[in-house]
Amino acid sequence: MARCFMRCFQESRCVGFNYRWSEAGANETNCQLSNNTKGRIGLRNEDGEWDFYQDIEMTNKTGRSDNEDGEQILTGDLALSPFQVHCDMESKNGIGVIVIGHDSESRTKVDNYEDPGSYSRKIRYNTTMQQIVAVINQSKNCEQFIKYECSNSLFLRSSYGYWISRQDRKMNYWGGAAVDSGKCACGMNNTCVGGGNCNCDANEERLREDSGFLTDKNTLPVAELRFGDTGITGSGYDEYGYHTLGKLLCWG
């Protein structure tokens, strides 16, 4: 399975693959690449197994291949050393998506950090940054979901909240907004609460949210999250927020 995945990942025309054990024999596998190659190519491995590569249109007619999610081992020129990732074959209409997780995916509360950026959450991924960059460089598209929920907590305004790129650079925009725009997603179409650049910058005593996907391959993945303005207001109201950061997804 890993070999099939790598064949697709290293073939520029391949946008996805299907894989299954062949019913013809215990030592045969069926690996379907959705590329421009017609017919089927067999590659005999040292251990005697077979991998078959077949055009997606032909395979769909025979019905011999099924999509399969699972853990994959990436090797070869793609990475500095072999490492394991999850391959998602369903979310992008059958295109293989590399999924890289981390230790900060759950909704996490931010409280009692008043100064801008005084709260810090460094993101620890399931593989090294060098390996992640290798995946990003080999992919046409990458994205990472990011969300901040806020109650009376300022955000991008006055740089109270922001994220840090893999180059250790402070980023001034949020998911769903243009790079270096100083905005959140709602700011791109002027729909933010209070008419600002982010919903959270309305600084209301109720829970608001700014969220969206970051898609700039040059700066992904998120290396650190920073927030502030989560102390106590002069009137005694408790300011707080919640951050959520999704897995890194790369494909194409």
Token couple for 239: 């300011």
Residue 20: the pLDDT is 58
Sorted by sequence, the CB contacts under 8 Å of residue 11 that are 6+ apart come out as: 33, 35
Per-residue confidence (pLDDT) for residue 64, from 0 to 100 = 29
Check residue 6 and give its pLDDT: 60
Tell me, what's the pLDDT at 57? 35
- Would you tell me how many other CB atoms lie within 10 Å of the CB of residue 113? 21
* DSSP H helices in 82-173: 129-138
pLDDT of amino acid 48: 35
Instruction: Report the C-alpha gap between 120 and 46 in whole angstroms.
Output: 49
Question: What is the model's pLDDT at position 73?
Answer: 47
Tell me the residue ranges of DSSP E strands in 15-140.
17-21, 29-33, 40-44, 50-54, 70-74, 83-88, 97-100, 108-111, 119-122
Residue-wise pLDDT tens for the chain (252 aa)? Answer: 555 666 666 565 666 666 655 445 554 556 666 654 433 344 333 333 333 333 333 333 333 233 455 454 454 444 455 667 788 888 888 788 999 999 999 999 999 999 999 999 999 999 999 999 989 998 999 999 999 999 999 999 889 999 999 999 999 999 999 999 999 999 999 999 999 999 999 999 899 999 999 999 999 999 999 999 999 887 788 999 999 999 999 998
**What domains are defined for the chain?**
98-251 (2.60.120.1000)
The pLDDT of residue 108: 98
